[in-house]
Structure 1
Amino acid sequence: MKTFEREAPADGEKRGRKASKETRRQQLIEATIDSLAKRGYSETTMADVADGAGLSRGIVNFHFESKEKLLVATLQYMADEYSAHWRAALVKAGDDPARQLSALVQADFDRSICNKRKLAAWCAFWGEAKSRPTYQALCGANDEAYQQVFIDLCRRLKEDGGYGFDAFSTALGLSAMLEGLWLRLMMGTENATRESAQHAAAEFLASVFPKHFSREAPRRPIPAVAKTA
């Protein structure tokens, strides 16, 4: 008897299936961010995510198997997005340390990253990080790389301007200020807007690096920050 082998899917069909899977995963991750922002960490359920994505609950289970795996994937996505965002801003700023530091600070308040929805989701994860080593590990490497860039830039500006501050402590203070401004924006503190937060950060730079930044305008033009998807 003659047998027939099943024809292998064409490359276009394979790509279509892959794209569909990736699209559904992304839908679920976006729905998880929505749910975290609306309900918080403990109240977010697989059913909420499925309903928010407009997909069946079986689809959620197929892609992520459990709430914990879904949340880990969501945190990984947000961490990667944030890392890609500030790295793109750093590259676009060129080699000048003042331009680079300005670009990093501006990037932190870009609407694609700094909005109530994502800030609330970040805060939901921050509240769980202490008791979940997986979350700490996911963000740890990115956080260390980000902090090291701030330290290096502060050190270069110190050498260039002859400042007397400690580069490590100054970088730590700058990072803490940016995190605090994010928290104020998330909490909806009175007069807390992206614009007021950017102004506060600019005031900090002008106070610490007066030879490189002024309160009227930066000494050098600052390039626009490229947005990430």
Structure 2
Amino acid sequence: MVSAPRSTARRGRPPKSLTAPQNSGRTQRPGTQRAAAKEATRLKLIEATIDSIAHSGFADTTLAKVSEGAGLSRGIVNFHFTSKDALLVETLTHLADEYTGFWKAAVEKAGSDPAARLSAIIDAEFHPTVCNRKKIAVWYAFWGEARSRPTYLDVCERQDRELLETVQALCAELVVQGGYETVEAEDVATGLMALTDGLWLDLLLTPTRFDRNGARRVCMAFLTGMFPRHFPSTGAAVPAA
């Protein structure tokens, strides 16, 4: 008599031949899902912080108000951020990364021509994604605190320095291409950045009079004065020959 083969299945699990077919579709691992959920919650808290600072200012922005604005418990806030200062630093870093990533993407998309790249930076400066009254109010709040907060100052200076160096390098290329012997690239870059800062302030203080297209025209007129062969009076960048 031949005995039946012994089942190799573990207790509580049917033999392999009887198990349901494995799902061939890719599924997200539990660890990845948890990380994604954690990041989504973190961003929700940062957005609530931006809303609170824009509406109430620094002093009246508290962890309790942020949790209420995000629709989350105070315990969730404390889990992600150990203090109000930690939350504020993360909020500033988020804004800086968003802003820098936005203009860098615009420059990359513009190609290799320095005039087109400079024009793309101006377009990015006044795009509603980064240039809106709420975010500008928060930027000015952080700038106001930066003098006495080294961490804030470091984030702001690092972001400003990277943009200024990029604009200056592009201006230097235009000086060589166009033979603008009397133009100093550093001065043009500093002037252009000061101009965009002032126009951002206009949006914050006089939003009903602010015009994005008008702000862009002001910047392009400045570049026309500096690099007339690359930026005609129409405001469009002329590619290098």
For normalisation by structure 2, the TM-score amounts to 0.84
Aligned amino acid, residue 170 of structure 1? V
Matched residue, 1:3: none
Long gaps (5+) in structure 2:
1-26
Deviation of 1:62 (Å):
1.2
Instruction: Please point out which of 203, 217, 221 is paired with 1:185.
Output: 203
SS at match of 2:29: helix
SS at match of 2:225: helix
Q: Does 1:216 align with 2:221?
A: no
Once the two structures are aligned, what percentage of the paired residues are identical?
47
Deviation of 1:198 (Å):
1.3
Matched residue, 2:83: 66
Matched residue, 1:22: 39
Instruction: Please point out which of 146, 164, 168 is paired with 1:147.
Output: 164
Contact 2:224 2:235 in 1 (8 A): no
CA distance, structure 2, for counterparts of residue 191 and residue 121 of structure 1: 20
SS at match of 1:114: coil
Deviation of 1:217 (Å):
4.1
SS at match of 1:72: helix
Could you list the structure 1 runs, at least 4 aligned residues long, displaced by more than 4 angstroms after superposition. Answer: none
User: Aligned pair count?
Assistant: 212
Q: How does 1:198-209 map to 2 (within 5 A)?
A: 198-209=216-227
Deviation of 1:191 (Å):
2.3
Deviation of 1:11 (Å):
6.1
1:179-216 CA deviation, whole Å, 9 max, x = no partner? Answer: 11111111126622222211211211112211111222
Instruction: Please point out which of 136, 151, 155 is paired with 1:119.
Output: 136
Matched residue, 1:88: 105
Instruction: Please point out which of 31, 56, 65 is paired with 1:39.
Output: 56
Deviation of 1:15 (Å):
1.4
Matched residue, 1:50: 67
For normalisation by structure 1, the TM-score amounts to 0.88
Aligned amino acid, residue 212 of structure 1? H
CA distance, structure 2, for counterparts of residue 214 and residue 130 of structure 1: 40
1:143-167 CA deviation, whole Å, 9 max, x = no partner? Answer: 2121111111111111111221111
Long gaps (5+) in structure 1:
1-9, 222-229
Matched residue, 2:187: 169
CA distance, structure 2, for counterparts of residue 19 and residue 167 of structure 1: 44
Aligned amino acid, residue 218 of structure 2? A
CA distance, structure 2, for counterparts of residue 131 and residue 213 of structure 1: 41
